């Protein structure tokens, strides 16, 4: 005997017409409240500049700058191609199309980009509420209202909303949650158009960002937990969603040169690479997973970066690793135990774990150790559980307690969110905050050091200029203490010392950089220049010559070698090296100047005129 499909809409919601109108007004009021709240919370970001990695999808992405004339490039190239020329790992054409449309209509404007981030976030929270209202229909309206508001106010989302580049994260979840909503509508009334809309929007979600791939398992959970469909029916309904993934993967494989990053995973990007063995790696991994849960409960302080070694490598003697592993085991055990009963807490646990999985580093190592943005979708589980728990505990007038608890939390959250947004004003403010909240991260210290040096280079007042250089040195040195294996740190130290006039310390820094990486061409060149300026021509020649061993086409090394011989009076060798330099790089104007000066001293007017003409031609 066939069982009649049960609607996810409770009998209480099937009220008389007047009640339906009242319900609609309440829903509209909640949607309006969420929309306004989003702009109140994040309105201060509308005046902010680009920061961190915003350039990837904006002013340094050539495809985006070209507008719709380059639309084919965002579909037949990797998402990083317009920025770096790389055609690997990422394929997010919908996110790029969104930025392309924005740029075509409004130009490159960070204020417009921030506006659309907030707008899409507001829409995400509204659709989220509409979805929750349907799957949590056994609870009073206060529960989905509270869950949606907690999500929209949660401080863990500040990075995603305030960081323009994270538009891909917002769009991914917006389309994902819209897919869930249409599926819920289908379960309610069996109208096929809602079902196929759900499949289509799911495909758009995965074309926005790869992390949406895990939403397919959430869709299966939704079909199981919120309908009375048989296992066979659920399997049949799931097939088109997996088909959408197959289509996406086929496109992705054909478009990308490599489906993963071709560059080696380094410690600075993922501190788990510093683990000595698998045991340490998993222990540290569980510390991070425990931190994810803790940050949902206590989202303060926040940081844009948690790279090496803000979260240090530990082994299984770590209490944090053990507690985290036990917590996750208990959560898994509860989800399995209550799965058949379609328990809402089991659903929330599975939602959290599935949406966090790809960023967890447990199986697939990604180019980031830990990130608040990775909690954007998983945080929904936490936001659902809180009001549901209050409802379960308070037997008398639970709605009152739900709203009271929510209002208190919203006040606390807003007092964190609004000030936190301020650090995303520009790179300097962001990196300065990162050095405070993640003081042990090599990346936060190096980023702030670079910003201080950039400020020093443009400062007019000598005292201010010196202060900025001193601060830059301070944070470069701190970064070197945290991670002394990176030659680039010492190279940047050398550049900073040199620009502030301290050539002795610059020389020492370049030597350290070369010790770490003997073929570091830039460091070799700069070290040779310092020896040259000290008139230590023997060491200068030695350095420039060694540089050519690593790169025989290094025009700068030939030019500098020529300058050494020129100053030593060996004009024949000087000319040979100068000519090798301009053969490899005809735009080295100063080499023509040196040749003109050399031939003038020799009284060879014909050669002077020859190189003067070459100089002028290449100058134009």
Co-location of 338 and 261 in the same domain: yes
Mean pLDDT of 153-175: 98
Comparing C-alpha atoms, which of 155, 237, 228 is closest to residue 195?
Answer: 237
For residue 299, the SS3 value is: coil
Mean pLDDT of 316-329: 98
Domain boundary among 360, 391, 421: 421
Instruction: Tell me: cis bond preceding 451? Omega within 30 of 0 counts.
Output: no
CB-based contacts of 208: which residues, under 8 Å, 6+ apart? Answer: 92, 94, 95, 168, 171, 172, 175
12 pLDDT higher than 50? no
Residue 16 belongs to some domain of the structure:
no
200 pLDDT higher than 90? yes
- How far is 126 from 153, CA to CA, in rounded Å? 13
The whole-number pLDDT of residue 279 equals 97
Per-residue confidence at 263, pLDDT binned at 50, 70, 90? low
Residue at token pair 């790809």:
358
Residue 354 belongs to some domain of the structure:
yes
Co-location of 89 and 172 in the same domain: yes
Q: What are the tens digits of pLDDT across the range 553-584?
A: 999 999 999 999 999 999 999 999 999 999 99
5 pLDDT higher than 70? no
Comparing C-alpha atoms, which of 520, 530, 451 is closest to residue 491?
Answer: 520
Co-location of 272 and 408 in the same domain: yes
Count up the domains in the chain and report the number.
Answer: 2
- How far is 13 from 18, CA to CA, in rounded Å? 12
CB 293 within 8 A of CB 375: no
For residue 258, the SS3 value is: strand
Q: What are the tens digits of pLDDT across the range 57-109?
A: 999 999 999 999 999 999 999 999 999 888 887 899 999 999 999 999 999 99
Q: What are the tens digits of pLDDT across the range 489-502?
A: 999 999 999 999 99
The whole-number pLDDT of residue 261 equals 55
Co-location of 370 and 485 in the same domain: no
Comparing C-alpha atoms, which of 510, 549, 552 is closest to residue 529?
Answer: 510
What is the CA 218 to chain-centroid distance, rounded? Answer: 24
Mean pLDDT of 178-193: 95
10 pLDDT higher than 60? no
- How far is 439 from 450, CA to CA, in rounded Å? 16
Per-residue confidence at 266, pLDDT binned at 50, 70, 90? confident
Residue 406 belongs to some domain of the structure:
yes
Residue 265 belongs to some domain of the structure:
yes
Mean pLDDT of 586-600: 91
In this structure, what token pair is assigned to residue 605? 């007017």
The whole-number pLDDT of residue 262 equals 52
Co-location of 377 and 490 in the same domain: no
260 pLDDT higher than 70? no
1 pLDDT higher than 80? no
- How far is 170 from 116, CA to CA, in rounded Å? 10
0.95 exceeded by the pTM? Answer: no
333 pLDDT higher than 70? yes
Per-residue confidence at 531, pLDDT binned at 50, 70, 90? very high
Q: What are the tens digits of pLDDT across the range 19-43?
A: 578 888 999 999 999 999 999 999 9
Comparing C-alpha atoms, which of 188, 189, 183 is closest to residue 238?
Answer: 183
Residue 7 belongs to some domain of the structure:
no
Q: What are the tens digits of pLDDT across the range 211-258?
A: 999 999 999 999 999 999 999 999 999 999 999 999 999 999 999 987
Co-location of 336 and 229 in the same domain: yes
In this structure, what token pair is assigned to residue 83? 């920025």
Q: What are the tens digits of pLDDT across the range 336-372?
A: 999 999 999 999 999 999 999 999 999 988 888 999 9
Co-location of 410 and 473 in the same domain: no
Co-location of 502 and 561 in the same domain: yes
2 pLDDT higher than 50? no
Point out which residues pair with 52 in neighbouring strands: none
Domain that holds residue 95: 38-421
Residue 297 belongs to some domain of the structure:
yes
DSSP string, 416-459: HHHHHHGGGSSHHHHHHHHHHHSTT-HHHHHHHHHHHHHHHHH-
For residue 150, the SS3 value is: helix
Co-location of 272 and 387 in the same domain: yes
Per-residue confidence at 190, pLDDT binned at 50, 70, 90? confident
What is the CA 620 to chain-centroid distance, rounded? Answer: 41
**CA distances for 94 relative to 32, 100, 310, angstroms:** 27, 10, 34
Q: What percent of the chain has pLDDT over 70?
A: 96
Domain boundary among 421, 452, 481: 421
Measured between its terminal Cα atoms, the distance across the chain in Å is: 86
Q: What is the three-state SS of 504-566?
A: HHHHHHHHHHHHHCCCCHHHHHHHHHHHHHCCCHHHHHHHHHHHHHHCCCCHHHHHHHHHHHH
What is the rounded average pLDDT for all residues in the chain?
93
Residue 8 belongs to some domain of the structure:
no
Co-location of 293 and 360 in the same domain: yes
408, burial (CB in 10 Å: exposed 0-12, middle 13-18, buried 19+): exposed
Co-location of 464 and 330 in the same domain: no
Co-location of 304 and 177 in the same domain: yes
Residue 278 belongs to some domain of the structure:
yes
Q: In degrees, to the nearest 5, what angle opens at C-alpha 281 toward C-alphas 277 and 286?
A: 150
Mean pLDDT of 136-156: 97
CATH of the domain at 562: 1.25.40.10
Q: What are the tens digits of pLDDT across the range 362-396?
A: 998 888 899 999 999 999 999 999 999 999 998 88
Q: What are the tens digits of pLDDT across the range 448-472?
A: 999 999 999 999 999 999 999 999 9
């Amino acid at each position: 005997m066939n069982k009649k499909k049960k609607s996810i809409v409770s009998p209480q919601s099937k009220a008389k017409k007047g009640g339906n109108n009242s319900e609609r007004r309440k829903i509209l009021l909640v949607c309006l409240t969420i929309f306004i709240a989003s702009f109140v919370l994040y309105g201060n970001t509308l005046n902010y500049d680009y920061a961190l990695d915003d350039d990837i999808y904006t002013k340094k992405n050539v495809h985006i700058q070209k507008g719709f004339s380059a639309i084919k490039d965002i579909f037949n190239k990797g998402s990083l191609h317009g920025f770096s020329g790389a055609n690997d790992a990422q394929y997010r054409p919908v996110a790029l199309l969104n930025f392309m449309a924005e740029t075509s209509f409004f130009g490159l404007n960070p204020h417009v980009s921030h506006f659309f981030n907030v707008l899409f976030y507001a829409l995400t929270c509204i659709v989220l509420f509409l979805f929750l209202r349907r799957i949590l229909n056994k609870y009073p309206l206060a529960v989905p209202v509270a869950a949606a508001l907690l999500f929209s106010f949660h401080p863990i989302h500040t990075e995603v909303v305030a960081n323009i580049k994270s538009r891909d994260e917002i769009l991914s979840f917006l389309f994902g949650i819209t897919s869930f909503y249409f599926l819920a509508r289908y379960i309610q009334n069996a109208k096929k158009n809602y079902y196929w809309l759900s499949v289509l929007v799911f495909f758009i979600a995965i074309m926005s960002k790869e992390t949406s791939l895990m939403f397919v398992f959430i869709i299966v959970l939704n079909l199981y937990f919120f309908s009375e469909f048989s296992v066979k029916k659920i399997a049949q309904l799931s097939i088109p969603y997996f088909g959408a993934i197959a289509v996406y993967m086929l496109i992705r494989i054909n478009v990308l040169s490599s489906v993963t990053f071709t560059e080696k995973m380094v410690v600075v990007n993922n501190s788990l690479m510093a683990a000595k063995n698998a045991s340490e790696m998993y222990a540290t991994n569980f510390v991070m997973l425990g931190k994810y849960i803790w940050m949902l409960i206590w989202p303060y302080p926040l940081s844009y970066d948690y790279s090496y070694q803000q979260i240090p490598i530990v082994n299984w003697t770590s209490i944090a690793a053990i507690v985290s592993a036990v917590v996750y085991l208990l959560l898994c055990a509860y989800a399995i135990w209550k799965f058949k009963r379609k328990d809402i807490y089991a659903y929330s646990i599975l939602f959290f774990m599935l949406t966090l999985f790809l960023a967890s580093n447990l199986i697939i190592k990604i180019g980031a150790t830990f990130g608040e943005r990775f909690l954007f979708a998983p945080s929904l589980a936490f936001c659902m559980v809180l009001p549901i728990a209050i409802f379960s505990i308070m037997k008398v007038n639970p709605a009152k307690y739900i709203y009271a608890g929510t209002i208190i939390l919203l006040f606390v959250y807003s007092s964190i969110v609004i000030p936190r947004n301020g650090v995303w004003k520009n790179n300097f403010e962001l990196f300065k905050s990162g050095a405070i909240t993640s003081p042990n991260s090599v990346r936060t210290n190096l980023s702030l050091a670079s910003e201080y040096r950039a400020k020093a280079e443009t400062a007019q007042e000598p005292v201010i200029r010196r202060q900025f250089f001193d601060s830059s040195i301070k944070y470069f040195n701190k970064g070197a203490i945290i991670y002394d294996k990176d030659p680039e740190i010492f190279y940047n130290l050398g550049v900073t010392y040199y620009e502030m006039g301290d050539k002795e310390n610059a020389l020492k820094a370049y030597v350290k950089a070369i010790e770490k990486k003997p073929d570091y061409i830039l460091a070799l060149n700069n070290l040779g220049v310092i020896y040259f300026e000290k008139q230590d021509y023997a060491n200068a020649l030695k350095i420039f010559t060694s540089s050519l061993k690593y790169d025989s086409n290094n025009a700068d090394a030939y030019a500098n070698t020529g300058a050494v011989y020129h100053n030593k009076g060996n004009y024949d060798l000087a000319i040979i090296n100068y000519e090798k330099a301009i053969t490899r790089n005809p735009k080295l104007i100063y080499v023509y100047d040196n040749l003109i000066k050399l031939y003038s001293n020799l009284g060879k007017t014909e050669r002077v005129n020859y190189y003067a003409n070459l100089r002028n031609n290449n100058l134009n």
